[in-house]
Structure 1
Amino acid sequence: MVPFLDIREQNRRIEKELRAAVDQVIDNAQFILGPGTKSFEEAFAAYCGTKYCVGVNNGTSALHMALIANGIGPGDEVITTAHTWISTSWAISYVGATPKYVDIDPQTYNLDPSLVESVITPRTKAILPVHLYGQACELKSLSSICDSHNLRLIEDAAQAHGAKCDGKRVGSIGHIGCFSFYPGKNLGAFGEAGAVVTDDQEMAERIRRLRDHAQDGRHNHVELGFNTRMEGIQGAVLEVKLRHLDAWNEARRRLADYYRENLANVSGLRLPQCVDPQGHVWHLFVVLVDAARRDEIRQELADQGIATGVHYPTPVPLQPVYQHLGHKPGDFPVAEDVMAQCISLPMFPEWEESQARQVVDAVKMVVSNK
C-alpha cells in the first residue's frame, strides 16, 4: 500500500527531537502559549521574513483574526477564489462580510488576477488569495490591484509553508499571512494549530489580545475576544519540525519531478503546471482525468494499493451554505472543470523510489488502458 501521506514515518525519523521538546513542555507545565509557543513564533517569523508571528489554535482562526485586525466587518466584501477549502470563506462570513468569488487560472488553479477588478465595488475591502496546493499566487498583480483600490491583501498560505513568490516567502508579501499547521500540512502539528505573520506591529499586538479573550492586562477585556490560543506542546513540536521543513519541501519537489517526468506522456492525464520550480512546495500533486471516469480511476488505483484524494469536489460558492449568494453551475467554469476532474496522488517527503514507481505504473495502466 502506498499511503496518501505518511505522518507516522515522518515523526519516527525525528522522534528523539520531538520527545525532548514535548518533555520540556511537560516539565515546565505551561501548556497554553508559554515558552514553547513564543519560541516557535520567533523562529517562524524569522523563517517567513516577517517581524511578527502570532500563534493561534488553527488555520481558520488565523484567517478570522487576520480579517478582524485588518478592519473587515459587516457590510464589507472580500474577493477570494472559488476553488479552495471552505475555511477561507468561513473567516469572511465570521466577521459579517460577504465573499466575492472569482474563477481560477487554468494553469496554476490559483485565483485569476485578471478577473479581480471586474468584481470590485465600493464595499470591497480586501483580496484574500489562496496559495493552493503549495504554489504561490501571482501576488505582483494582486498587490498592484490592492494599491490602486486601497484594498488589504491577506494571504491564505495554509498549503504553502516555505513557498516563494519572486524570491520572498509567501505570507510576507501581503499585509498579513495566515497559516494552518493541521497534521497533514507541509509543516504539521500534533493536532490543530495555526499562525499569522506580519510586519505590522499594531496588527500583531491586536491579534495577541484577540486570541486571549481580548485582554489588555489580566482581567481587562477591551473588545469582543476569543479563545484561540496556541498550545505550548504544538509550538514546541512545530519548532522542531520547522528545522526540517526546507529538506522536506525539497524531497516533495523531487517526487513531483519524478511524477512529471514519468507520467508526461500518459494519454488522458493532465499534469500540474509549475510556474517556479524552486518556489513550489508541492503540498499536493493534483492531476486531471476524465470527469466521467474519476471515481472509477480512484477505485482501481485503490485496488492496486494506491491511496488518492480529491481536493476539492465542489466550488465553495456552489456549496449549500452559500446558496443565498445566488451563484449557479457555470458561473466558475474553470474551477468547476478542474474540480470535476482532479485527483491528488500520494505526496509526502518520506517517499521511497519503489513507492513512486508503484504509483506511476498503476496510473499508467489505469488511466491509459481504457
Structure 2
Amino acid sequence: MQFRDLQAQYQKYKAEIDSSIQNVLAEANFIEGKEVKELEEQLADYVGVKHCITCANGTEALSLVLMSWGVNFGDAVFVPDFTFFATGEVVSFSGATPVFVDVCHDTFNIDPLKLEKAIQKTLAEGKLTPKAIIPVDLFGLPANYPEIEKIAKKYNLLILEDGAQGFGGNINGKRACSFGTAATTSFFPAKPLGCYGDGGAIFTDDDSLAETLKSLKVHGRGKDKYDNVRIGVNSRLDTIQAAILKVKLKAFIQHELIDVNRIYDYYQQRLKGVVETPIIPDGYYSSFAQYTIKLKNREVRDGLQKYLKQNGIQTIVYYVKPMHKQMAFTNLQLDDDEFPVSNELSEKALSLPMHPYLKEIEIDKICHSIRHYLSHV
C-alpha cells in the first residue's frame, strides 16, 4: 500500500495529462510557454492574491523572496524547529542566521508564545537584527497566522509563509499561501498539488515584490533576456510541468481536497482513543499533505512502523531529527533543552498513507493493523 498513490491519480486523469503533455511537445515551447502564464493566473485566483510567480522548486521560491527582501549577514530569521531542512537552509544560504523556535504539540506548527520569546531574546543579545518569520504550514495545516501577524507587527518583521505542505488549507476561508507579505509552495510530486518533477511558486499582493521576483528568477532580467539589471538566478518552471499542473489543479479543486478530508474523518473514527490523532483547531481546514499520529515513545513508534511494513503498509517518519540537531547547524551551538516539543515529536510521530485515492477498505486494513499491534505491546 503506497504512502501517496500517484499512479492512481495518473490513471484517473491519464487522457487529460497525456494530451496536455503532447500539446507542449507539438508546440515545442518548453520554457515559458503559454501554459506557465495560464497556470500562474489560475493559482493566483484560487489562492486569492494578485500575483503568482512560478519557479523551479519550493526551496528556490523561499530563497527568491529572501533575496528580494535583502535578507543578509547579521539578520535573524525565525523558523520552526520541527520541519523540513529547506526552511532553515535558505536562511543560511542567504547569509542570515536561522533562529529555531519550538512548536506546538497539538498542531506541529510554530508556537507563537515561544516565537515572541525568541525574538525578545535575540533583541536582548544584540548580535543579530530580527528581520523575518517563516512559519510552516506543516502536514497541510496552516500555522497560527492570527497570532503570528500580531507578533510580526509588534516587532516590525516580515512574514514569509512556507506553504509547501499547506496548499489548499485555510483559516476561516482565507487560503494558505495568502498570509504574510509573501508565501511559497512546492509542486514536488508528493505535495498536495504536485507535478511530475520539481516546481514551486511564490504568492504576493505586493506589486513591487512581484516585479523583482520575476526579474530575479531569470538572471536578474530587465526589459529582455540580454538586459540584466540585478544579479539573479535561473529558476523557471518548465512548460510541461505547468501543463500537468493545470490538469491536476482542476482535480484538486473539484474533489481531491474534499476527498482527503473525508479520509481524515475515516481515520479519526477508527483511531480516536487508540493513538493521538491530528487536531484541527476551530476555523482551520487542512489539505492533509500527511496524516500524522503520535505514539507512546520511539520504541512503540518504530515497532509499529516495522509491523505495518511487514503487512504491506508504507509509512514515513517526519522528522527523525529536528532542525537544531542537524549537523549543518552545529555552528549555532543550540541548547537541546529549548526544544522539548520538537524532541518529543521526533520520537513519537508517524505519518500514515494519505491521498485522495485511498479506499475505505485500505483505511480499515491500516487501522486494524495499528490496533492489533498496539494491543500486543
Query: Normalised by the shorter chain, which TM-score bucket?
Result: over 0.9
- Aligned 8 A contact 2:260 2:354 in 1: yes
Supply the distance in 2 between the matched residues of 1:15 and 1:29 (Cα, whole angstroms).
21
Choose from 227, 234, 243 the match for 2:234. Answer: 227
| 1:334 maps to 2:341 | yes
- Alignment match, 2:316: 309
1:164 partner amino acid: N
- Alignment match, 1:79: 78
- Aligned 8 A contact 1:137 1:165 in 2: no
Supply the distance in 2 between the matched residues of 1:331 and 1:157 (Cα, whole angstroms).
25
- Deviation string 1:183-232 (CA, Å, 9 cap, x unpaired) is 00110001000000000111111111111111102212122110111101
Supply the distance in 2 between the matched residues of 1:5 and 1:28 (Cα, whole angstroms).
32
Q: Gaps spanning 5+ residues in structure 2: where?
A: 124-128
- Alignment match, 1:93: 92
Supply the distance in 1 between the matched residues of 2:345 and 2:283 (Cα, whole angstroms).
22
Q: CA deviation at 1:293?
A: 2.3
- Alignment match, 2:51: 52
- Alignment match, 2:113: 114
- Alignment match, 1:250: 258
| 1:144 maps to 2:150 | yes
Supply the distance in 1 between the matched residues of 2:105 and 2:60 (Cα, whole angstroms).
30
1:258 partner amino acid: Y
Q: CA deviation at 1:52?
A: 0.4
- Alignment match, 2:247: 240
| 1:199-278 aligned within 5 A | 199-216=205-222, 217-246=224-253, 247-266=255-274, 269-276=275-282
- Aligned 8 A contact 1:188 1:238 in 2: yes
1:60 partner amino acid: T
- Deviation string 1:268-298 (CA, Å, 9 cap, x unpaired) is x211111147611111011111212222211
- Alignment match, 1:298: 305
| 1:163 maps to 2:169 | yes
Choose from 351, 357, 361 the match for 1:344. Answer: 351
- Alignment match, 1:321: 328
SS in 2 for 1:243: helix
2:218 partner amino acid: D
Supply the distance in 2 between the matched residues of 1:70 and 1:151 (Cα, whole angstroms).
11
TM-score calculated relative to the size of structure 1:
0.97
TM-score calculated relative to the size of structure 2:
0.95
Q: CA deviation at 1:265?
A: 2.4
Supply the distance in 2 between the matched residues of 1:368 and 1:111 (Cα, whole angstroms).
33
Q: Which runs of 4+ in 1 moved over 6 A?
A: none
- Aligned 8 A contact 1:55 1:194 in 2: yes
- Deviation string 1:157-204 (CA, Å, 9 cap, x unpaired) is 000111102320111121001000000011000100000000011111
| 1:129 maps to 2:135 | yes
Supply the distance in 1 between the matched residues of 2:314 and 2:11 (Cα, whole angstroms).
21
| 1:356 maps to 2:355 | no
1:99 partner amino acid: P
- Aligned 8 A contact 2:324 2:336 in 1: no
1:117 partner amino acid: E
- Deviation string 1:302-354 (CA, Å, 9 cap, x unpaired) is 11111100011111121000001011432200011011111100101001111
- Aligned 8 A contact 1:318 1:328 in 2: no
- Aligned 8 A contact 1:56 1:229 in 2: yes
- Deviation string 1:29-61 (CA, Å, 9 cap, x unpaired) is 111122111110010000100000000010000
Supply the distance in 2 between the matched residues of 1:292 and 1:5 (Cα, whole angstroms).
25
Supply the distance in 2 between the matched residues of 1:355 and 1:329 (Cα, whole angstroms).
39
Supply the distance in 2 between the matched residues of 1:303 and 1:146 (Cα, whole angstroms).
47
Supply the distance in 2 between the matched residues of 1:262 and 1:278 (Cα, whole angstroms).
22
- Aligned 8 A contact 2:30 2:238 in 1: yes
Supply the distance in 2 between the matched residues of 1:33 and 1:85 (Cα, whole angstroms).
29
Identity over the aligned pairs, expressed in percent?
32
Supply the distance in 1 between the matched residues of 2:194 and 2:172 (Cα, whole angstroms).
25
- Deviation string 1:241-288 (CA, Å, 9 cap, x unpaired) is 11111311111111111111111122xx21111114761111101111
1:199 partner amino acid: D
